[in-house]
Structure 1
Amino acid sequence: MPVFVAPNPVSLPLMSAPSSPAAASPVRVAAIGVGVALLVLGLKFLAYRLTGSVALFSDALESIINVVSAGGALLALWVAARPADASHPYGHTKAEYLSAVVEGVLIVLAALSILRVAVPELSHPRAVDAPWLGLGVNMGASVINLVWANVLLRIGQASRSPALIADGKHVMSDVVTSVGVLIGVVLARLTGWHILDPLLALLVALNILWSGWGLLSSSVGGLMDAGVDPHTDAQLRRVISEEATGALEIHDLRTRHSGQVTFVEFHLVVPSEMTVRDAHTICDRLEDAVQGVIAGANVTIHVEPQDQAKHCGVLVV
């Protein structure tokens, strides 16, 4: 059997981001996010100063984390956008996961700060002063956050940016927290049960802890080279099976995420007498198929002769 020299691994360049101007520049979106976070922070601290509410104070504390998170996302996206170099041949896209991990840690610290303030208030709850104006200011900040969270999530998903998606989820959790706080402070005012204020602060802290844990878990998965989800994996196997006509077998299919890029690699077994040109044609067809499932995927295919078949993996239709 002749020796078959595998072609050089085939890599596709990153596909351009969606045509939306905002989605085309995640760095610009992150920069705007810093300004939005600073505006919301100012409004929430104003609401706290007007009311003296511990729950509103906890809400304002979380907004400090939002500012730091937005700054971290901006820095991470700037680093991730740098092209590959000799020291980082696969690029700098994992910087986005580092940003998300730092954001998760900061969220946990914010929750602990809220607990430190709220727990003593349980034994000596205070009446909330001038609540209506303060609540109105806080509600305005929450509306701004709601709009911005949806923008971040939409653009983050369109541009496949873990940093923007993490920031959007964090801001959305802040919106949920703020709505709960507003309801609690209103009830405390209407019923005279002033203990509702510190109790709501405790619930805010627990919600933030849960949000931080989820963010840390997903970010660590990215740093540990987690593969695509089962649904996407099944789609990949289906299209590879359908588009590999002429080959004998596909095995050792592996995927991993790195920021906005998904790496896909596998071994393609072809008849030993097949020419390099024909094998390369199959590779081109498979690249297009993978790109149809995962936009922006970086594909590497290792071609092997027939005697390297493992008789397992993806069945060629």
Structure 2
Amino acid sequence: MRERNNRQLNMSAGMASVAVASVLVALKLWALAETGALSVAASLADSALDLMISGAGLAAIIYAARPPDEDHHFGHSSAEDLAALGQALFILTSAGVIAFAAVARLLSSNPVRLEAEGRGIVVMGLAIMLTLGLVIWQGHVARRTGNRVVKADRLHYLADLVPNIGAIVALLASSRLGVTQVDSVVALLAAALLVRGAVGIGRGAWDALMDRSAAPEVVSGIEQIVTEWPGVHGHHDLKTRTAGSRLFVHLHIELDGSQSLDEAHAISAGLKRAILEAYPGADVIIHKDPVRD
């Protein structure tokens, strides 16, 4: 039941992301045509990539939700990591394009004049409200499900707030003070934030694809549960890895070899339930060894 609810939450976050990105692209296309502002263009480019990435992310969420089959015994959750890695690469590319355009405009001897700043400000304000609503919902879903695609999606939408606010500042500076350089500075700041976020997303996805063990606090939490569990005299060969939002745990526990198989199974089953309660959705395999071995 919990896994089904998590899948539904992840799906809702993915569909909301695609819907908001579509609206933002349309609004910012109009605003760019009206103002000619590079900060708006940077925000538009980011939203266009958001739309493409969010679509791919939604597809990954749908695919990752498929149950294990004969060819994928551990499920399809690694699709989330592949999508997140693709997101990181797209974000880095867009940051490079934005930074290049901003530097070129700053070094140009003919400053670009911005127009219809008031209309652009209205559009960017609306974009901020839509983005805030999406980020709040994605944050709720990410906390409930731990889905890496939703987390990555939320991160770059959260980063969008800074260039959106910066675009408003740039348009105000142009309309009130006649200063157009602020537009390029804001675009550079947006590019830097995008790079920082993309590196974090990419590193997490790469670690998961390379079967890196779970976070140290997760491993220590599992060890504490095992150590304190009644009937367990010790443990060894604790191995963990993550794939998408799913945690995989392999563990050997040491039990009294003189007890019955039913008693040993009851201890192991209880321990597995305790681990699942602490880490919902985990895939836990426990091997039982006699304590003297």
Indicate whether the TM-score tops 0.5: yes
Counterpart CA distance in 2 for 1:195 and 1:139 is 21
**TM-score, length-normalised on structure 2?**
0.93
Are 2:260 and 1:275 equivalent residues in the alignment? yes
Residue in structure 1 matching 2:60, options 56, 65, 76:
76
For 2:2, what is the secondary structure of its paired residue?
A: coil
Aligned equivalent of 2:198: 212
Q: Name the counterpart of 2:25.
A: 41
For residue 184 of structure 1, the aligned residue among 163, 170, 177 is: 170
Match of 1:57 among 41, 46, 49: 41
Aligned: 1:160 with 2:139: no
- Gaps spanning 5+ residues in structure 1: where? 1-14, 309-317
Alignment partner of 1:118 is 2:118: no
Q: Secondary structure at the match of 2:72?
A: coil
Tell me, yes or no, if the aligned pair for 1:112 and 1:205 is still in contact at 8 Å.
Answer: yes
Q: Select which of 223, 229, 232 maps to 1:247.
A: 232
Q: Is the 8 A contact 1:170 1:211 kept in 2?
A: yes
Q: Deviations over 1:68-123 (max 9, x none)?
A: 11111111011101111111110101100100000111111111221232222112
> Which position in structure 1 is the counterpart of 2:247?
262
Q: Normalising to structure 1: TM-score of the pair?
A: 0.86
The unaligned stretches of length 5 or more in structure 2 are none
Q: Post-superposition shift, 1:214?
A: 1.5
How far does the alpha carbon of each residue in 1:141-187 deviate from its partner, in whole angstroms, 9 at most, with x for none? 12101111121121133122111111111111111221122223323
Which runs of at least 4 in structure 1 moved beyond 3 Å after TM superposition?
none
Identity %: 26
Matched, 1:199 2:185: yes
Q: Which AA in structure 2 matches 1:70?
A: S
Quick check: which has more Rg, 1 or 2?
Answer: 1
The code of the aligned residue for 1:263 comes to F
Determine the structure 2 residue equivalent to 1:133. 119
Higher relative contact order (CA 8 A, sep 6+): 1
Q: Which moved more, 1:29-38 or 1:81-90?
A: 29-38
CA–CA distance in structure 1, aligned partners of residues 29 and 83 of structure 2: 25
